[in-house]
């Protein structure tokens, strides 16, 4: 067999082997359902007017970020518009009922009146953030329900959403769907 035939056959075989190896090791192309299931909605919060609540807000944000996979709360950079504006007040805690949409804005008021009566700051912060994420109150309710709020009593320090609460938030933000959900702008006041 002439050298030219050997080279042509060898080049063709090498191309086939390379193509086969590449196809076998390449990452699968995500399908639309896989890509949308992995969508994460990022919501920025501004706590620059929530003096005295910084540690509670940090812990409340961490609780939500550890509990749900498709929505993440991040601190807004100075001068950046935030979806969740958090302020300290002297009244009862209250918040706009969400779910807040990216580019929209809700307000959370962390009231010192509840702290003065013995309620836990971290639970208050996580609870009010839950309203921003679309969860209403579940009063009366046990301490195991974050959204039971003040009805769980002052001894309750649970700041972690339960499975039902996590599921409702995940559903509200599924595939970025929060951008399609309208909020009614109701303010929920969490006085006992």
Report the catalytic residues.
128
Through-space distance between the first and last CA atoms of the chain, rounded to whole angstroms: 94
Is 96 within 8 Å of 132 (Cβ atoms)?
A: yes
Q: Which of 41, 177, 161, 181 lies closest to 97, judged by CA?
A: 181
10 Å Cβ neighbour count for 24?
Answer: 7
**Strands ordered across the beta sheet of 106-111:** 71-75, 41-49, 84-89, 106-111, 94-96, 187-189
């Amino acid at each position: 067999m002439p050298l030219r035939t050997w080279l042509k056959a060898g080049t063709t075989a090498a191309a086939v082997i390379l193509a086969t190896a590449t196809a076998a090791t390449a990452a699968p192309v995500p399908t639309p359902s896989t890509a949308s299931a992995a969508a994460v909605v990022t919501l920025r919060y501004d706590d620059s007017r929530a003096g005295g609540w910084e540690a509670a807000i940090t812990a409340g944000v961490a609780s939500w970020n550890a509990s749900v996979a498709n929505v993440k709360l991040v601190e807004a950079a100075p001068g950046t518009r935030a979806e969740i504006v958090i302020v300290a007040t002297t009244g009862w805690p209250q918040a706009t009922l969400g779910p807040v949409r990216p580019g929209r804005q809700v307000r959370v008021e962390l009231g010192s009146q509840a702290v003065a009566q013995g309620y836990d700051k971290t639970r208050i912060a996580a609870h009010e953030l839950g309203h921003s994420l679309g969860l209403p109150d579940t009063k009366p309710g046990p301490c195991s329900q974050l959204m039971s709020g003040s009805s769980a009593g002052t001894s309750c320090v649970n700041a972690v959403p339960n499975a039902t609460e996590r599921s409702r938030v995940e559903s509200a933000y599924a595939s970025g769907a929060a951008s399609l959900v309208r909020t009614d702008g109701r303010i929920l006041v969490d006085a006992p």
